[in-house]
Chains A and B, each alone.
Chain A
Amino acid sequence: MTTLPSLWPLAGIAIVVIGFGLRANPLAVVVLAAFGSGLGAGLSVAEVVAALGKAFNQNRYVSVPWLALPVIGLMERAGLQEQARRVIASARAATAARILILYLGLRQITAALGLTQIAGHAQTVRPLLAPMVEAAAERDNPAITEDERHKVKAMAAATDNVGIFFGEDIFIAIASILLIKGFLEGAGIIVQPLQLSVWAIPTAIAAFAVHGLRLWRMGRASGKAG
Protein backbone atom coordinates (compact mmCIF):
# COMPACT_ATOMS: atom_id res chain seq x y z
CA MET A 1 0.00 0.00 0.00
CA THR A 2 1.57 3.26 -1.11
CA THR A 3 1.01 6.42 0.91
CA LEU A 4 -1.66 8.79 -0.34
CA PRO A 5 -0.47 12.01 -1.97
CA SER A 6 -1.55 15.40 -0.62
CA LEU A 7 -5.12 16.04 -1.68
CA TRP A 8 -4.96 19.86 -1.63
CA PRO A 9 -4.33 20.23 -5.39
CA LEU A 10 -7.83 18.75 -5.86
CA ALA A 11 -9.31 21.95 -4.38
CA GLY A 12 -9.72 23.24 -7.95
CA ILE A 13 -11.96 20.31 -8.87
CA ALA A 14 -14.10 20.93 -5.78
CA ILE A 15 -14.40 24.60 -6.78
CA VAL A 16 -15.46 23.60 -10.30
CA VAL A 17 -18.15 21.24 -9.00
CA ILE A 18 -19.52 23.71 -6.45
CA GLY A 19 -19.24 26.68 -8.81
CA PHE A 20 -21.11 25.03 -11.67
CA GLY A 21 -23.61 23.60 -9.19
CA LEU A 22 -24.37 27.11 -7.93
CA ARG A 23 -24.53 28.35 -11.55
CA ALA A 24 -21.90 30.98 -10.79
CA ASN A 25 -20.28 32.75 -13.73
CA PRO A 26 -18.10 30.02 -15.33
CA LEU A 27 -15.22 32.41 -16.09
CA ALA A 28 -14.95 33.29 -12.40
CA VAL A 29 -15.24 29.61 -11.43
CA VAL A 30 -12.39 28.68 -13.76
CA VAL A 31 -10.09 31.39 -12.40
CA LEU A 32 -10.90 30.47 -8.78
CA ALA A 33 -10.30 26.78 -9.59
CA ALA A 34 -6.89 27.64 -11.03
CA PHE A 35 -6.03 29.45 -7.80
CA GLY A 36 -7.46 26.62 -5.69
CA SER A 37 -5.35 23.93 -7.33
CA GLY A 38 -2.29 26.12 -7.80
CA LEU A 39 -2.18 27.33 -4.20
CA GLY A 40 -3.07 23.81 -3.04
CA ALA A 41 0.01 22.50 -4.86
CA GLY A 42 2.19 25.06 -3.10
CA LEU A 43 2.48 27.74 -5.78
CA SER A 44 2.41 31.42 -4.82
CA VAL A 45 -0.33 33.77 -6.02
CA ALA A 46 2.06 35.35 -8.52
CA GLU A 47 3.10 31.94 -9.81
CA VAL A 48 -0.55 30.97 -10.38
CA VAL A 49 -1.21 34.21 -12.27
CA ALA A 50 1.86 33.62 -14.43
CA ALA A 51 0.96 29.96 -15.05
CA LEU A 52 -2.56 30.97 -16.06
CA GLY A 53 -1.21 33.68 -18.36
CA LYS A 54 1.29 31.35 -19.99
CA ALA A 55 -1.38 28.70 -20.57
CA PHE A 56 -3.84 31.29 -21.92
CA ASN A 57 -1.26 32.54 -24.40
CA GLN A 58 -0.39 29.00 -25.53
CA ASN A 59 -4.08 28.17 -26.01
CA ARG A 60 -4.94 31.13 -28.25
CA TYR A 61 -5.52 28.76 -31.14
CA VAL A 62 -8.70 27.60 -29.35
CA SER A 63 -10.28 31.02 -29.97
CA VAL A 64 -9.12 31.41 -33.59
CA PRO A 65 -12.36 29.96 -35.09
CA TRP A 66 -14.24 33.05 -33.88
CA LEU A 67 -12.77 34.91 -36.83
CA ALA A 68 -15.43 33.18 -38.93
CA LEU A 69 -18.26 35.10 -37.20
CA PRO A 70 -18.24 38.02 -39.70
CA VAL A 71 -18.91 35.54 -42.52
CA ILE A 72 -21.83 33.94 -40.69
CA GLY A 73 -23.17 37.42 -39.90
CA LEU A 74 -22.90 38.55 -43.54
CA MET A 75 -24.77 35.45 -44.69
CA GLU A 76 -27.53 36.11 -42.17
CA ARG A 77 -27.68 39.75 -43.27
CA ALA A 78 -28.35 38.57 -46.84
CA GLY A 79 -31.25 36.39 -45.61
CA LEU A 80 -29.72 32.91 -45.29
CA GLN A 81 -31.90 31.92 -42.31
CA GLU A 82 -35.01 33.20 -44.10
CA GLN A 83 -34.14 31.19 -47.21
CA ALA A 84 -33.51 28.05 -45.10
CA ARG A 85 -37.01 28.54 -43.61
CA ARG A 86 -38.58 29.16 -47.04
CA VAL A 87 -37.14 25.93 -48.43
CA ILE A 88 -38.40 23.91 -45.48
CA ALA A 89 -41.83 25.55 -45.46
CA SER A 90 -42.53 24.17 -48.93
CA ALA A 91 -40.96 20.72 -48.39
CA ARG A 92 -43.54 19.01 -46.20
CA ALA A 93 -41.69 15.68 -46.18
CA ALA A 94 -38.82 17.40 -44.37
CA THR A 95 -39.98 17.11 -40.75
CA ALA A 96 -37.72 18.33 -37.94
CA ALA A 97 -36.98 14.74 -36.93
CA ARG A 98 -36.11 13.64 -40.47
CA ILE A 99 -33.83 16.63 -41.07
CA LEU A 100 -31.94 15.91 -37.85
CA ILE A 101 -31.65 12.16 -38.51
CA LEU A 102 -30.27 12.90 -41.99
CA TYR A 103 -27.84 15.46 -40.54
CA LEU A 104 -26.73 12.99 -37.85
CA GLY A 105 -25.90 10.36 -40.46
CA LEU A 106 -24.07 12.81 -42.74
CA ARG A 107 -22.12 14.29 -39.83
CA GLN A 108 -21.03 10.84 -38.63
CA ILE A 109 -19.98 9.71 -42.10
CA THR A 110 -18.05 12.88 -42.97
CA ALA A 111 -16.39 12.90 -39.53
CA ALA A 112 -15.39 9.26 -40.06
CA LEU A 113 -13.65 10.41 -43.26
CA GLY A 114 -11.73 13.02 -41.27
CA LEU A 115 -13.87 15.97 -42.43
CA THR A 116 -14.69 17.26 -38.96
CA GLN A 117 -14.36 20.94 -39.89
CA ILE A 118 -16.95 21.11 -42.67
CA ALA A 119 -19.77 21.60 -40.16
CA GLY A 120 -20.18 22.95 -36.65
CA HIS A 121 -22.25 25.14 -34.36
CA ALA A 122 -21.19 28.42 -35.97
CA GLN A 123 -20.74 27.17 -39.53
CA THR A 124 -23.89 25.09 -40.00
CA VAL A 125 -26.08 24.80 -36.89
CA ARG A 126 -26.84 28.49 -36.32
CA PRO A 127 -27.20 29.65 -39.96
CA LEU A 128 -28.79 26.50 -41.49
CA LEU A 129 -29.78 23.55 -39.32
CA ALA A 130 -31.49 25.37 -36.44
CA PRO A 131 -33.64 27.65 -38.70
CA MET A 132 -34.60 24.62 -40.81
CA VAL A 133 -35.75 22.44 -37.92
CA GLU A 134 -37.42 25.40 -36.27
CA ALA A 135 -39.35 26.17 -39.47
CA ALA A 136 -40.30 22.51 -39.90
CA ALA A 137 -41.50 22.29 -36.29
CA GLU A 138 -43.54 25.49 -36.70
CA ARG A 139 -45.08 24.29 -39.96
CA ASP A 140 -46.13 20.93 -38.48
CA ASN A 141 -47.30 22.38 -35.17
CA PRO A 142 -48.54 25.97 -35.56
CA ALA A 143 -49.37 26.05 -31.82
CA ILE A 144 -45.73 25.41 -30.86
CA THR A 145 -44.73 26.97 -27.54
CA GLU A 146 -41.59 29.02 -26.97
CA ASP A 147 -40.28 26.22 -24.75
CA GLU A 148 -40.79 23.56 -27.44
CA ARG A 149 -39.10 25.82 -29.97
CA HIS A 150 -36.03 26.08 -27.71
CA LYS A 151 -36.00 22.30 -27.21
CA VAL A 152 -35.93 21.68 -30.97
CA LYS A 153 -33.05 24.14 -31.42
CA ALA A 154 -31.13 22.58 -28.51
CA MET A 155 -31.65 19.18 -30.15
CA ALA A 156 -30.10 20.55 -33.36
CA ALA A 157 -26.93 21.48 -31.46
CA ALA A 158 -26.98 18.13 -29.61
CA THR A 159 -27.26 16.26 -32.91
CA ASP A 160 -24.16 18.00 -34.27
CA ASN A 161 -22.22 16.98 -31.12
CA VAL A 162 -23.34 13.35 -31.17
CA GLY A 163 -22.55 13.13 -34.90
CA ILE A 164 -18.99 14.42 -34.61
CA PHE A 165 -18.09 12.67 -31.33
CA PHE A 166 -19.17 9.24 -32.50
CA GLY A 167 -17.94 9.56 -36.06
CA GLU A 168 -14.48 11.10 -35.80
CA ASP A 169 -12.85 8.20 -33.97
CA ILE A 170 -13.34 5.98 -37.01
CA PHE A 171 -10.84 8.19 -38.83
CA ILE A 172 -7.32 6.89 -38.19
CA ALA A 173 -5.53 10.25 -38.04
CA ILE A 174 -7.77 12.00 -35.52
CA ALA A 175 -6.16 13.38 -32.34
CA SER A 176 -7.88 10.98 -29.95
CA ILE A 177 -6.71 7.89 -31.85
CA LEU A 178 -3.16 9.24 -31.91
CA LEU A 179 -3.37 9.93 -28.17
CA ILE A 180 -4.43 6.33 -27.42
CA LYS A 181 -1.70 4.97 -29.70
CA GLY A 182 0.88 7.24 -28.07
CA PHE A 183 -0.15 6.28 -24.54
CA LEU A 184 -0.03 2.53 -25.26
CA GLU A 185 3.32 2.96 -27.03
CA GLY A 186 4.69 4.65 -23.91
CA ALA A 187 3.70 1.51 -21.99
CA GLY A 188 5.49 -0.70 -24.53
CA ILE A 189 2.32 -1.83 -26.35
CA ILE A 190 2.51 -1.19 -30.10
CA VAL A 191 -0.88 -0.91 -31.84
CA GLN A 192 -1.84 0.37 -35.28
CA PRO A 193 -4.32 3.28 -35.59
CA LEU A 194 -6.56 1.12 -37.78
CA GLN A 195 -6.98 -1.47 -34.97
CA LEU A 196 -8.18 1.31 -32.68
CA SER A 197 -10.47 3.02 -35.17
CA VAL A 198 -12.22 -0.26 -36.04
CA TRP A 199 -13.31 -0.43 -32.39
CA ALA A 200 -15.03 2.93 -32.76
CA ILE A 201 -17.49 1.48 -35.28
CA PRO A 202 -19.83 -0.42 -32.88
CA THR A 203 -20.32 2.69 -30.74
CA ALA A 204 -20.84 4.84 -33.84
CA ILE A 205 -23.68 2.54 -34.91
CA ALA A 206 -25.11 2.52 -31.37
CA ALA A 207 -24.95 6.33 -31.28
CA PHE A 208 -26.90 6.57 -34.55
CA ALA A 209 -29.46 4.08 -33.23
CA VAL A 210 -29.92 5.68 -29.80
CA HIS A 211 -29.94 9.31 -30.90
CA GLY A 212 -31.89 8.54 -34.08
CA LEU A 213 -34.54 6.77 -32.01
CA ARG A 214 -34.79 9.77 -29.70
CA LEU A 215 -35.21 12.08 -32.69
CA TRP A 216 -37.86 9.82 -34.21
CA ARG A 217 -39.77 9.79 -30.92
CA MET A 218 -39.43 13.57 -30.70
CA GLY A 219 -41.09 13.74 -34.13
CA ARG A 220 -43.86 11.39 -33.06
CA ALA A 221 -44.48 13.37 -29.88
CA SER A 222 -44.90 16.57 -31.87
CA GLY A 223 -47.76 14.97 -33.75
CA LYS A 224 -46.11 14.09 -37.04
CA ALA A 225 -44.38 10.79 -37.74
CA GLY A 226 -40.61 11.09 -38.19
Chain B
Amino acid sequence: MIGLPALYTLAGLVFAGWAAATLLDRQHPRRLRGAAFWGLIAASFLAGDALGDMGNGVLVLALVGLALAGAPGKGQPATSSSEDRAASAAARGNRLFLPALVMPGVALAGTFLLPRLGGLFDPKQVTLVSLGLGAMLAAAALMAWTRPSASAAVQEGRRLAENVGWAMLLPQLLASLGMVFGLAGVGDIVGSLAPLAIPDGSRLAAVVAFTGGMAIFTILMGNAFAAFPVMMGGIGLPVLVLGLGANPVVVGAVGMLAGFCGTLLSPMAANFNIVPAALLELPDRYAVIRAQVGTALPLWLFNTALIWGFAF
Protein backbone atom coordinates (compact mmCIF):
# COMPACT_ATOMS: atom_id res chain seq x y z
CA MET B 1 0.00 0.00 0.00
CA ILE B 2 1.39 3.39 -0.97
CA GLY B 3 1.29 5.76 2.00
CA LEU B 4 3.59 7.64 4.32
CA PRO B 5 6.63 5.31 4.08
CA ALA B 6 6.86 5.78 0.30
CA LEU B 7 6.46 9.55 0.70
CA TYR B 8 9.15 9.66 3.38
CA THR B 9 11.52 7.81 1.03
CA LEU B 10 10.78 10.30 -1.76
CA ALA B 11 11.24 13.30 0.54
CA GLY B 12 14.42 11.73 1.95
CA LEU B 13 15.84 11.39 -1.57
CA VAL B 14 15.03 15.03 -2.35
CA PHE B 15 16.83 16.24 0.79
CA ALA B 16 19.73 13.83 0.13
CA GLY B 17 20.02 15.37 -3.34
CA TRP B 18 20.31 18.84 -1.80
CA ALA B 19 22.95 17.54 0.64
CA ALA B 20 25.03 16.12 -2.22
CA ALA B 21 24.63 19.24 -4.37
CA THR B 22 25.67 21.44 -1.42
CA LEU B 23 28.73 19.25 -0.82
CA LEU B 24 29.75 19.68 -4.48
CA ASP B 25 29.16 23.46 -4.45
CA ARG B 26 32.68 24.87 -4.00
CA GLN B 27 31.33 28.43 -3.75
CA HIS B 28 29.07 27.68 -0.79
CA PRO B 29 30.41 29.67 2.19
CA ARG B 30 29.24 27.04 4.71
CA ARG B 31 29.49 23.98 2.53
CA LEU B 32 29.97 21.27 5.16
CA ARG B 33 27.45 22.68 7.61
CA GLY B 34 24.88 23.10 4.85
CA ALA B 35 25.43 19.56 3.56
CA ALA B 36 25.18 18.18 7.11
CA PHE B 37 21.90 20.08 7.66
CA TRP B 38 20.20 18.68 4.55
CA GLY B 39 21.82 15.28 5.15
CA LEU B 40 20.40 14.99 8.67
CA ILE B 41 16.89 15.81 7.43
CA ALA B 42 17.35 13.16 4.72
CA ALA B 43 18.45 10.67 7.41
CA SER B 44 15.35 11.49 9.46
CA PHE B 45 13.09 10.77 6.47
CA LEU B 46 14.93 7.66 5.30
CA ALA B 47 15.79 6.05 8.63
CA GLY B 48 13.88 7.92 11.38
CA ASP B 49 12.07 4.81 12.60
CA ALA B 50 15.37 2.95 13.03
CA LEU B 51 17.03 5.73 15.04
CA GLY B 52 14.99 5.33 18.20
CA ASP B 53 13.59 8.18 20.31
CA MET B 54 16.96 9.16 21.75
CA GLY B 55 18.66 9.02 18.35
CA ASN B 56 15.97 11.23 16.85
CA GLY B 57 16.25 13.62 19.80
CA VAL B 58 20.00 13.98 19.28
CA LEU B 59 19.33 14.48 15.55
CA VAL B 60 16.94 17.35 16.38
CA LEU B 61 19.50 18.99 18.68
CA ALA B 62 22.18 18.62 16.00
CA LEU B 63 19.91 20.22 13.37
CA VAL B 64 19.13 23.17 15.63
CA GLY B 65 22.83 23.52 16.52
CA LEU B 66 23.75 23.57 12.83
CA ALA B 67 21.05 26.17 12.16
CA LEU B 68 22.45 28.38 14.92
CA ALA B 69 25.89 27.96 13.34
CA GLY B 70 24.63 29.36 10.04
CA ALA B 71 23.28 26.28 8.24
CA PRO B 72 22.00 25.75 5.62
CA GLY B 73 23.47 28.99 4.18
CA LYS B 74 23.32 30.01 0.53
CA GLY B 75 25.50 28.59 -2.22
CA GLN B 76 25.48 29.02 -5.98
CA PRO B 77 22.92 26.53 -7.32
CA ALA B 78 23.03 26.50 -11.14
CA THR B 79 19.97 28.25 -12.56
CA SER B 80 18.90 30.20 -15.63
CA SER B 81 19.84 33.88 -16.09
CA SER B 82 17.12 36.52 -16.11
CA GLU B 83 17.72 36.90 -19.88
CA ASP B 84 17.17 33.16 -20.38
CA ARG B 85 13.95 33.38 -18.41
CA ALA B 86 12.62 36.36 -20.32
CA ALA B 87 13.44 34.61 -23.62
CA SER B 88 11.78 31.40 -22.45
CA ALA B 89 8.70 33.33 -21.32
CA ALA B 90 8.50 35.10 -24.69
CA ALA B 91 8.88 31.83 -26.61
CA ARG B 92 6.60 29.64 -24.53
CA GLY B 93 4.02 32.25 -23.53
CA ASN B 94 0.96 31.17 -21.60
CA ARG B 95 1.78 27.47 -22.04
CA LEU B 96 4.09 28.05 -19.05
CA PHE B 97 1.01 28.12 -16.83
CA LEU B 98 0.12 24.52 -17.75
CA PRO B 99 2.77 22.84 -15.54
CA ALA B 100 1.59 25.05 -12.68
CA LEU B 101 -1.79 23.34 -13.02
CA VAL B 102 -0.40 19.79 -12.79
CA MET B 103 -0.02 19.66 -9.01
CA PRO B 104 -3.42 21.23 -8.24
CA GLY B 105 -4.97 19.00 -10.91
CA VAL B 106 -3.47 15.82 -9.46
CA ALA B 107 -4.50 16.95 -5.95
CA LEU B 108 -8.06 17.44 -7.21
CA ALA B 109 -8.20 14.13 -9.10
CA GLY B 110 -6.44 12.26 -6.31
CA THR B 111 -8.91 13.43 -3.68
CA PHE B 112 -11.73 11.81 -5.63
CA LEU B 113 -10.00 8.86 -7.33
CA LEU B 114 -7.37 7.48 -4.96
CA PRO B 115 -9.80 6.28 -2.25
CA ARG B 116 -11.61 4.26 -4.96
CA LEU B 117 -8.53 2.35 -6.09
CA GLY B 118 -9.00 -0.36 -3.50
CA GLY B 119 -6.05 -1.08 -1.27
CA LEU B 120 -3.39 0.45 -3.50
CA PHE B 121 -3.22 3.77 -1.65
CA ASP B 122 -3.53 4.53 2.05
CA PRO B 123 -6.94 6.26 2.28
CA LYS B 124 -5.81 8.32 5.29
CA GLN B 125 -2.94 9.88 3.32
CA VAL B 126 -4.72 10.80 0.10
CA THR B 127 -3.69 14.47 0.31
CA LEU B 128 0.02 13.87 0.79
CA VAL B 129 0.12 10.98 -1.69
CA SER B 130 -1.55 13.21 -4.30
CA LEU B 131 1.04 15.88 -3.58
CA GLY B 132 3.90 13.42 -4.07
CA LEU B 133 2.41 12.03 -7.29
CA GLY B 134 1.71 15.53 -8.60
CA ALA B 135 5.24 16.68 -7.83
CA MET B 136 6.78 13.71 -9.64
CA LEU B 137 4.50 14.09 -12.67
CA ALA B 138 5.05 17.84 -12.91
CA ALA B 139 8.83 17.47 -12.53
CA ALA B 140 8.93 14.79 -15.25
CA ALA B 141 6.79 16.91 -17.59
CA LEU B 142 8.95 20.01 -17.03
CA MET B 143 12.20 18.09 -17.58
CA ALA B 144 10.83 16.61 -20.82
CA TRP B 145 9.49 19.93 -22.09
CA THR B 146 12.17 22.44 -21.14
CA ARG B 147 15.15 20.00 -21.32
CA PRO B 148 17.43 21.57 -18.70
CA SER B 149 20.58 19.78 -17.49
CA ALA B 150 19.94 16.50 -15.70
CA SER B 151 20.67 17.94 -12.25
CA ALA B 152 18.34 20.94 -12.72
CA ALA B 153 15.52 19.57 -10.56
CA VAL B 154 17.90 19.14 -7.62
CA GLN B 155 19.61 22.51 -8.13
CA GLU B 156 16.38 24.48 -8.61
CA GLY B 157 14.88 22.86 -5.52
CA ARG B 158 18.02 23.69 -3.56
CA ARG B 159 17.87 27.32 -4.70
CA LEU B 160 14.39 27.69 -3.15
CA ALA B 161 15.27 25.57 -0.09
CA GLU B 162 18.28 27.81 0.63
CA ASN B 163 15.99 30.85 0.35
CA VAL B 164 13.69 29.43 2.99
CA GLY B 165 16.66 28.27 5.06
CA TRP B 166 16.32 26.87 8.58
CA ALA B 167 12.69 28.10 8.67
CA MET B 168 11.88 24.91 6.72
CA LEU B 169 12.33 22.95 9.91
CA LEU B 170 10.15 25.21 12.05
CA PRO B 171 6.66 23.78 11.28
CA GLN B 172 7.71 20.20 12.12
CA LEU B 173 9.59 21.31 15.23
CA LEU B 174 6.61 23.35 16.45
CA ALA B 175 4.31 20.38 15.97
CA SER B 176 6.79 18.39 18.09
CA LEU B 177 6.78 21.08 20.78
CA GLY B 178 3.00 20.77 20.89
CA MET B 179 3.41 17.09 21.73
CA VAL B 180 5.98 17.82 24.46
CA PHE B 181 3.63 20.46 25.90
CA GLY B 182 0.89 17.83 25.91
CA LEU B 183 3.17 15.38 27.75
CA ALA B 184 4.00 18.07 30.33
CA GLY B 185 0.30 18.75 30.89
CA VAL B 186 0.41 22.40 29.74
CA GLY B 187 -3.10 22.26 28.26
CA ASP B 188 -4.65 20.80 31.41
CA ILE B 189 -3.10 23.52 33.57
CA VAL B 190 -4.28 26.34 31.28
CA GLY B 191 -7.72 24.74 31.14
CA SER B 192 -7.98 24.66 34.92
CA LEU B 193 -6.75 28.26 35.27
CA ALA B 194 -8.90 29.77 32.52
CA PRO B 195 -12.26 29.72 34.37
CA LEU B 196 -10.68 31.76 37.21
CA ALA B 197 -10.60 34.75 34.83
CA ILE B 198 -14.41 35.00 34.62
CA PRO B 199 -16.54 37.03 37.04
CA ASP B 200 -19.55 35.00 38.22
CA GLY B 201 -22.67 35.09 36.10
CA SER B 202 -21.57 37.58 33.45
CA ARG B 203 -22.50 36.15 30.07
CA LEU B 204 -20.47 38.63 27.99
CA ALA B 205 -17.40 38.23 30.20
CA ALA B 206 -17.64 34.45 29.86
CA VAL B 207 -17.90 34.70 26.04
CA VAL B 208 -14.96 37.12 25.85
CA ALA B 209 -12.89 34.88 28.14
CA PHE B 210 -13.65 31.94 25.83
CA THR B 211 -12.96 33.60 22.46
CA GLY B 212 -10.07 35.61 23.91
CA GLY B 213 -8.63 32.46 25.45
CA MET B 214 -8.99 30.65 22.11
CA ALA B 215 -7.15 33.46 20.30
CA ILE B 216 -4.39 33.94 22.88
CA PHE B 217 -3.73 30.25 23.47
CA THR B 218 -3.71 29.72 19.68
CA ILE B 219 -1.13 32.50 19.32
CA LEU B 220 1.01 30.78 21.97
CA MET B 221 0.63 27.28 20.53
CA GLY B 222 0.49 28.32 16.86
CA ASN B 223 -2.45 26.03 16.27
CA ALA B 224 -6.16 26.38 17.01
CA PHE B 225 -6.44 22.59 17.18
CA ALA B 226 -4.23 22.58 20.28
CA ALA B 227 -6.16 25.43 21.89
CA PHE B 228 -9.65 24.08 21.18
CA PRO B 229 -9.80 21.10 23.59
CA VAL B 230 -8.17 23.22 26.31
CA MET B 231 -10.51 26.23 26.10
CA MET B 232 -13.57 24.15 25.29
CA GLY B 233 -12.83 21.91 28.27
CA GLY B 234 -11.93 24.84 30.53
CA ILE B 235 -14.60 27.42 29.65
CA GLY B 236 -16.70 26.51 26.60
CA LEU B 237 -18.34 23.39 27.90
CA PRO B 238 -18.49 23.88 31.71
CA VAL B 239 -19.21 27.63 31.82
CA LEU B 240 -20.94 28.54 28.53
CA VAL B 241 -22.81 25.36 27.57
CA LEU B 242 -23.53 23.66 30.91
CA GLY B 243 -23.51 26.77 33.14
CA LEU B 244 -25.21 29.39 30.96
CA GLY B 245 -27.09 27.13 28.56
CA ALA B 246 -25.35 28.15 25.34
CA ASN B 247 -25.82 26.18 22.12
CA PRO B 248 -22.80 23.82 21.85
CA VAL B 249 -22.87 23.92 18.05
CA VAL B 250 -22.41 27.70 17.90
CA VAL B 251 -19.86 27.75 20.74
CA GLY B 252 -17.79 24.98 19.14
CA ALA B 253 -17.93 26.09 15.51
CA VAL B 254 -17.44 29.82 16.08
CA GLY B 255 -14.98 29.29 18.93
CA MET B 256 -12.70 27.41 16.53
CA LEU B 257 -12.90 30.36 14.11
CA ALA B 258 -11.95 32.77 16.94
CA GLY B 259 -8.88 30.57 17.32
CA PHE B 260 -8.12 30.93 13.59
CA CYS B 261 -7.95 34.72 14.17
CA GLY B 262 -5.14 33.93 16.62
CA THR B 263 -3.37 31.79 13.99
CA LEU B 264 -3.20 34.86 11.74
CA LEU B 265 -1.23 36.65 14.51
CA SER B 266 1.07 33.83 15.64
CA PRO B 267 4.76 33.49 14.76
CA MET B 268 4.33 29.92 16.06
CA ALA B 269 2.08 29.21 13.05
CA ALA B 270 5.24 29.03 10.97
CA ASN B 271 3.76 27.32 7.92
CA PHE B 272 1.33 30.17 7.35
CA ASN B 273 3.22 33.17 8.67
CA ILE B 274 7.01 32.68 8.83
CA VAL B 275 7.68 30.32 5.91
CA PRO B 276 5.89 32.52 3.32
CA ALA B 277 7.89 35.57 4.46
CA ALA B 278 11.01 33.49 3.74
CA LEU B 279 9.63 32.11 0.46
CA LEU B 280 8.84 35.63 -0.78
CA GLU B 281 12.26 36.86 0.41
CA LEU B 282 10.77 39.58 2.62
CA PRO B 283 13.35 41.20 4.93
CA ASP B 284 10.91 41.35 7.88
CA ARG B 285 10.25 37.86 9.29
CA TYR B 286 6.91 39.12 10.68
CA ALA B 287 5.77 40.96 7.52
CA VAL B 288 2.91 38.51 6.82
CA ILE B 289 1.63 38.74 10.40
CA ARG B 290 1.72 42.55 10.17
CA ALA B 291 -0.36 42.36 6.99
CA GLN B 292 -2.94 40.19 8.80
CA VAL B 293 -3.50 42.22 11.99
CA GLY B 294 -6.11 44.47 10.38
CA THR B 295 -8.15 41.44 9.32
CA ALA B 296 -7.68 39.25 12.40
CA LEU B 297 -8.83 41.76 15.05
CA PRO B 298 -12.18 42.76 13.44
CA LEU B 299 -12.91 39.10 12.69
CA TRP B 300 -12.22 38.14 16.31
CA LEU B 301 -14.71 40.81 17.42
CA PHE B 302 -17.21 39.48 14.88
CA ASN B 303 -16.86 35.89 16.17
CA THR B 304 -17.20 37.04 19.77
CA ALA B 305 -20.36 38.96 18.90
CA LEU B 306 -21.68 35.95 16.96
CA ILE B 307 -21.49 33.69 20.02
CA TRP B 308 -22.81 36.40 22.35
CA GLY B 309 -25.74 37.15 20.07
CA PHE B 310 -26.72 33.73 18.72
CA ALA B 311 -25.59 31.03 21.14
CA PHE B 312 -28.11 31.90 23.86
Contact = CB atoms under 8 A, between A and B. Distances in A.
Interface of A: 2, 4-7, 9-10, 12-13, 16-17, 20, 23, 25-28, 30-31, 33-34, 37-38, 40-41, 43, 46, 48-83, 86-87, 114-115, 117-119, 121-128, 130, 150-151, 153-158, 160-162, 165-166, 169, 175-177, 179-180, 183-184, 187, 189, 191, 195-197, 199-200, 202-203, 206-207, 210-211, 214
Contact of B176 (A55, A115, A153): A55
A2 B238 CA distance: 15
Given A64-B7, A76-B156, A53 B55 contact: yes
Contacts, number: 423
Contacts of A187: 237, 248
Given A52-B176, A75-B96, A78-B92, A196 B56 contact: no
19 contacts: A10-B186, A27-B166, A49-B58, A49-B60, A55-B175, A63-B168, A63-B172, A68-B131, A77-B146, A78-B80, A79-B80, A126-B160, A155-B291, A158-B264, A161-B272, A161-B288, A179-B225, A183-B232, A203-B303
A57 B51 contact: yes
For the complex, would chain B's binding face be called helix, strand, loop or mixed by DSSP majority? helix
A155 B138 CA distance: 28
B92 A79 contact: yes
Given A60-B44, A78-B88, A117-B107, A66 B253 contact: no
Contacts of A71: 99, 102-103, 135, 138-139, 142, 153
Nearest to A202: B306
Which of B237, B253, B284 is most buried by chain A, counting CB atoms within 10 A of its CB?
B253
Contacts of B275: 121
A155 B41 CA distance: 31
Interface string B260-276: 10011001101111111
A150 B287 contact: yes
For the complex, would chain A's binding face be called helix, strand, loop or mixed by DSSP majority? helix
B248 A78 contact: no
B128 to A, nearest CB: 5
B254 A203 contact: yes
Nearest to B170: A26
Given A9-B181, A26-B270, 13 more contacts: A12-B177, A13-B181, A25-B67, A26-B274, A41-B184, A53-B58, A69-B160, A80-B97, A87-B94, A157-B288, A166-B260, A203-B254, A210-B295
B276 A121 contact: yes
Nearest to A182: B229
A26 B90 CA distance: 42
B160 A72 contact: yes
A51 B239 CA distance: 34
A153 B280 CA distance: 7
B249 A53 contact: no
A41 B253 contact: no
Contacts of B174: 30
Contacts of B233: 183
A157 B276 contact: yes
A70 B153 contact: yes
B188 interface: yes
